[in-house]
Amino acid sequence: MSSVGTTWSAMIPAQADGASVTYRIVAYDTLGNEAISGESTYNVEDVVTTPTEPTEPTTGEPTPTEPGPGPGPRDDETLFMVYSAFGALVVIVLALAARRRR
């Protein structure tokens, strides 16, 4: 993982379509305390959209079409989930370190 200020991030390498990715975050503070997040899982899906051809002659009016499937998993959503989990983990580690110093 790498940090910019107090924000930590990591990239999970690209996975094959249909893969199930399970990960967890392990963090250590300067005193050697360890905190481990719960496991998180996501499934990789390749969403392919194909253009639809009009079935009737064009009359100048738009041809109504059925809505396609919604967007699939996005890298920024997954990265946000990793940021959130790691942020919570950092807060826990800092709280434990502060409590230990008392």
Q: Which of 9-23, 38-52, 61-75 has the highest mean pLDDT?
A: 9-23
| pTM score above 0.95 | no
37 domain-assigned: yes
pLDDT tens-digit readout, 32-66: 888 888 888 888 887 766 666 655 555 555 555 55
Mean pLDDT of the chain: 75
Structure tokens at 55: 């079935």
58 domain-assigned: no
- Total number of domains in the chain: 1
The residues near 13 (Cβ < 8 Å, ≥ 6 apart) are none
Query: SS3 breakdown of the chain: % helix, strand, coil, rounded to 5?
Result: 25, 20, 55
94 domain-assigned: yes
56 domain-assigned: no
67 domain-assigned: no
pLDDT at 82: 74
Domain that holds residue 83: 2-45+72-101
16 domain-assigned: yes
d(CA 12, CA 85): 14
pLDDT reading at 14 higher than 80: yes
9 domain-assigned: yes
pLDDT at 62: 57
